[in-house]
């Protein structure tokens, strides 16, 4: 059994095929899903979808690449969504210095990252962190603004050297499609280092389809390919990776069944 801890069934590429995607994914053993928002609209969509489907949960938040167009009212709107049934996390939030090189925008990203960690702490929810080309700054923010209910470094793309620093802050490390890419050295190293009780898996669909589907539309049905690669790297069985990462995700997101 598998738990896709990060997918975007609320994305326009997937939203019209949800029943079909869920059916095919369940046939492959993927039983749990967290749909992640990136702004207010997509967060509301994530909740709507989660409330209609068994085993499907929602995370709500403003993505670092979307804070440019965010305003104060959005934070209030976000707070209102946190008490909705099936909301299990605040995310995705964080820092993305790949897409935004402007110092002013990076500063705004940092402010919104901190504000959203604070509302997660107030609402007693974990966070889902997006980090791209901002490892040091993300680490500093998290170290000085500890997410009290924990969180996950989604599709971790930092170095193998840094990964244990995030684990020591109490965070889970989630791996996605890049771990399967033939030329991916760093994610494969990371897959070996992360302690078993801190490991999660995800598709980040519709993006980052795993090998051999790289470049194509991604859905949760490909999650077992990611588990299989991690199992091979760690010399474990795919069932053992599935079982542990599902247990870890249930613990982080407080999912009972």
Binding residues for Ni ion (CB under 5 A):
204
Output 131 or 231, the one with its CB closest to Ni ion.
131
Min separation Cβ 235 and Ni ion, Å: 29
Which residue is nearest to Ni ion, using beta carbons? Answer: 204
SS3 19: helix
- φ, ψ of residue 96 to 5 degrees: the values are -135, 95
Min separation Cβ 155 and Ni ion, Å: 7
Beta strands in the chain (DSSP E): 2-7, 30-36, 56-60, 87-96, 127-132, 151-153, 172-175, 199-201
Min separation Cβ 86 and Ni ion, Å: 18
Q: Tell me the two tokens of residue 235.
A: 């010399």
Output 204 or 229, the one with its CB closest to Ni ion.
204
Output 155 or 199, the one with its CB closest to Ni ion.
155
Q: How many residues does the chain have?
A: 257
Output 39 or 204, the one with its CB closest to Ni ion.
204
Q: Tell me the two tokens of residue 73.
A: 């009212």
Radius of gyration of the chain (CA): 17
Min separation Cβ 90 and Ni ion, Å: 14
Output 96 or 110, the one with its CB closest to Ni ion.
96
Contacts of 226 (CB under 8 A, 6+ apart): 175, 176, 177, 179, 180, 201, 202, 203, 210
In terms of C-beta distances under 8 Å and separation of at least 24 residues, what long-range contacts does 11-20 make, across chains too?
Answer: 11/42, 11/205, 11/206, 13/206, 13/217, 14/205, 14/206, 14/219, 15/45, 15/49, 18/49, 18/53
Min separation Cβ 120 and Ni ion, Å: 17
Output 150 or 176, the one with its CB closest to Ni ion.
176
Min separation Cβ 177 and Ni ion, Å: 12
**Cα 114 → chain centroid:** 18
């Amino acid at each position: 059994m598998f738990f896709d801890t990060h997918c975007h069934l609320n994305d326009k590429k997937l939203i019209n095929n949800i029943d079909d995607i869920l059916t095919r994914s369940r046939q492959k053993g993927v039983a749990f899903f967290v749909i992640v928002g990136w702004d207010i609209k997509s967060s509301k969509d994530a909740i709507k979808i989660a409330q209609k489907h068994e085993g499907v949960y929602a995370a709500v938040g403003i993505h670092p690449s979307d804070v440019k167009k965010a305003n104060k009212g959005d934070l209030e709107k976000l707070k209102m969504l946190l008490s909705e049934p099936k909301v299990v996390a605040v995310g995705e939030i964080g820092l993305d210095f790949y897409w935004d090189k402007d110092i002013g925008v990076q500063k705004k990203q940092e402010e919104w990252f901190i504000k959203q960690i604070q509302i997660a702490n107030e609402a007693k929810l974990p966070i889902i962190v997006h980090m791209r080309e901002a490892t040091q700054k993300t680490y500093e923010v998290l170290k000085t603004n500890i997410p009290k209910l924990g969180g996950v470094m989604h599709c971790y793309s930092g170095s193998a050297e840094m990964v244990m620093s995030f684990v020591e802050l109490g965070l889970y490390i989630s791996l996605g499609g890049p771990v399967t890419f033939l030329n991916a050295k760093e994610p494969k190293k990371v897959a070996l280092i992360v302690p078993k009780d801190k490991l999660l898996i995800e598709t980040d669909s519709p993006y980052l389809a795993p090998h051999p589907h790289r470049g194509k539309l991604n859905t949760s049905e490909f999650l077992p390919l990611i588990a299989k690669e991690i199992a091979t790297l760690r010399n474990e069985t795919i069932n053992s990776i599935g079982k542990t990462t599902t247990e870890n995700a249930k613990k982080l997101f407080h999912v009972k069944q």
